[in-house]
Structure formats: C-alpha cells, structure tokens
C-alpha cells in the first residue's frame, strides 16, 4: 500500500512511484487521483503524456471512467526534463510509449527532489514486458500493481489481449480492440491465435486438451 505521509522534510531527494497493470485496470484513474491530491495540497504539479496518445483528447489525460486532468503532450522523454524542472510533483501517463531515456529522466528528477508518479502498461499485447516499464518498476521506491476484471472468466486480469490481427507494437484502442484477460484466458486465447497460423506444437495442443478435459 502506498503511503503519502512518509516524507522526511530534511531529505533533499524525491522519489518515483509506478502504477502498472493491464488495460482497463484503473492506472490513469489512480494517477489522476494522486495528482489531484497534490494539487489540493497546493503543490506545483504537472502531468505529461506521449504526443502519440490522442485517444480521448489532444491535451487532457482522461481515464476510462472519464475523469480527466490537463496535461502537456511531449514528443520525447527529454522534453519532460526541461518542463518539469520547477515542479514539486509530476505525473507521466502511458510511460510505455516513451523512449528508454524516460528512465534516466525520472531518476534525475527524483534526485532533484521531485515526486515522480508514472503510470503505464507493464506488458504488451503479447504478454512481454513493455518498453521502459520494467526498469522504471525496478528503480521506483513504490510500485502499485492494479488489475482489471477478465471479460471471459471474471477473475483478476493482468493481460491486455488484442482482438485484431494487427501486429504493430503501438496501437491505440479501447474495448473494440483490446480486452483484459486472466492468465488462463490469455494463454488459451494466444494458443488459439497460434493454431490459426499453425505456429503451435502438437505437444501444446495435447496439453491444452488434457487441461480442458480435466
């Protein structure tokens, strides 16, 4: 559990918080909540998002529940270093879309005394670690893993399954393109896709049949 009252006011360093999970898990919702609390405390805050993210609005960061907060779209992580220099708290949404320099930027800002809150997908649509997120989670003081609800089983979901055949790593979309799945549902869905392209071994098919019959 993240606690905001553990601040040593004599300490000159800030820290990094990472909010990670699948799509539809409430990452942006939690990011907005923390930033609004900082604004209520009259701290100077700023939120950044990659310029590529234009799903809801060009400038606003908007959660799936329609909560929003004004942001600054930037083309690269290096821009954040310059724009955030005078802030007390900064937020970064969709961090997985940034280049790897975002890792150095976040650590440099934290070392200057800034509280850095980062939200992003921890895995891509294939279930692989996504971009700079693993390194950000490793260097952060606080990591919050949030979960969606699996659309097929009702269990906790931590995978973002892409329903289209597009193989591009970066592809913006909502429920018409992605659905949150549990581990078991994701494994079966990916196996089904591989069967379509015959990219699956007979042993895997046999194990799946045994699992279904059991």
Give Cα separations from 205 to 66, 91, 162, 187, 199 (angstroms): 42, 44, 21, 12, 11
Does residue 23 contact residue 63 with C-beta atoms inside 8 Å? no
- Indicate which residue of 59, 94, 101, 176 is catalytic: 94
CA 89 to CA 114: how far, in whole Å?
A: 6
Does residue 95 contact residue 132 with C-beta atoms inside 8 Å? yes
Contacts of 85 (CB under 8 A, 6+ apart): 112
Among 76, 78, 63, 66, which residue's Cα sits nearest to residue 31?
A: 63
CA 76 to CA 91: how far, in whole Å?
A: 15
Give all strands (DSSP E) within 152-191, no chain letters.
156-157, 159-162, 178-181
Q: How many Å is the maximal CA-CA distance in the chain? A: 62
Does 94 participate in catalysis according to the annotation? Answer: yes
Q: Which residues pair with 173 in a beta bridge?
A: none
Tokens 């937020």 correspond to: 91
**What residues act catalytically?**
94
């Amino acid at each position: 559990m993240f606690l905001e009252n553990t601040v040593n006011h004599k300490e000159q360093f800030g820290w990094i918080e990472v909010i990670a999970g699948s799509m539809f898990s409430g990452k942006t919702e939690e990011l907005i909540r923390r930033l609004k609390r900082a604004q209520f405390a009259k701290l100077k805050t700023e939120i950044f998002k990659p310029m590529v993210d234009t799903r809801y609005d060009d400038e606003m960061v908007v959660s799936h529940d329609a909560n929003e907060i004004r942001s600054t779209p930037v083309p690269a992580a290096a821009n954040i270093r310059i724009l955030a220099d005078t802030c007390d708290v900064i937020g970064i949404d969709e961090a997985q879309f940034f280049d790897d320099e975002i890792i150095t930027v976040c650590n440099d800002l934290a070392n200057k005394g800034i509280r850095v809150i980062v939200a992003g997908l921890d895995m891509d649509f294939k279930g692989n670690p996504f971009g700079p997120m693993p390194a950000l989670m490793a260097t952060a003081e606080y990591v919050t893993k949030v979960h969606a609800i699996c659309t097929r089983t009702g269990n906790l979901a931590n995978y973002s399954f892409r329903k289209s055949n597009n193989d591009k790593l970066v592809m913006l979309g909502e429920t018409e393109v992605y659905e949150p799945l549990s581990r078991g549902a994701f494994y079966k869905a990916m196996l089904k896709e591989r069967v379509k392209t015959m990219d699956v071994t007979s042993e895997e098919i046999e194990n799946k049949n045994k699992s279904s019959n059991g």
